[in-house]
Amino acid sequence: MKSTSRSIALIGLVFLLAGALPASAWTWPIVGQGREYQCHWKFLDGPHKGLNGNARLLYKSLDGNDYLRRGDVLNTYDDGGTREERITVTKPVSCGPRCTKFEYTVNRPEPAIQCQNFRAEIVEIPRPFGGTIELSRLTFDGCSNYVYQTCSRPNR
């Protein structure tokens, strides 16, 4: 009987500790108003090859579990144009400390855009006069529309 009581107590302790752990082992894009990423994009191939520009990217929502999340993203371009789209981020795989690789889909009617090598990571960048700044960085690569995009924002 003592063994069973200890096992139950141990299981309870494991669940208690699990509740104290972070909600996700993966690095996900940062969501919320005022948390925009500054981005630079470029067409690597296709009919718009070489075309490039800047944009701001805001994840308005990103809900789900630790394997698949869906949400809304707002893109604001240099010319003031905007585009809000539904996205799916799924299949997380570690690509290093504080770095996660995903499959990223922009859920358009046709054609949807898929990025097979979307990465979200937290990096530390040295400051010119000492110390570091922590950035949240996104990289969109291997995309079906031939766009390569990098985005960053302070990680706070």
**What local confidence, expressed as pLDDT, does residue 108 receive?**
86
- Residue recorded with tokens 């040295």: 126
Give the fold, CATH level 3, of 25-154.
Lipocalin (2.40.128)
- In this predicted structure, what is the pLDDT of residue 45? 96
Which pLDDT belongs to residue 6? 43
Alpha-carbon distance values, 156 to 32, 37, 120, 122, 136 (Å):
11, 12, 15, 11, 9
Residue 53: predicted pLDDT: 96
- Cα 133 to chain centroid, rounded: 19
pLDDT of residue 92: 96
Q: What pLDDT is attached to residue 110?
A: 78
Per-residue pLDDT of the chain (156 residues; tens, 9 = 90+): 454 444 333 333 333 333 333 456 899 999 998 899 999 999 999 999 999 999 999 999 999 999 999 999 999 999 999 999 999 999 999 999 999 999 999 998 778 999 999 999 999 999 999 999 999 999 999 999 999 999 999 987
In this prediction, residue 109 carries a pLDDT of: 79
The Cα–Cα gap between 69 and 107 comes to 13
pLDDT on residue 4: 42
pLDDT tens track for 84-115: 999 999 999 999 999 999 999 999 877 899 99
The confidence score (pLDDT) of residue 20 equals 35
Q: Is the CB of residue 102 less than 8 Å from the CB of residue 91?
A: yes
Domain residue extents for the chain: 25-154
Residue 153 sits at φ, ψ, to 5 deg, of -160, 155
| HEC readout, the chain | CHHHHHHHHHHHHHHHHHHHCCCCCCCCCCECCCCCEEEEEEECCCCCCCCEEEEEEEEEEEEECCCEEEEEEEEEECCCCEEEEEEEEEEEEEEECCEEEEEEEECCCCCCEEEEEEEEEEEEEECCCCCEEEEEEEEEEEECCCEEEEEEEECC
Q: Tell which residue, 65, 86, 72, 69, has the closest CA to residue 23.
A: 65
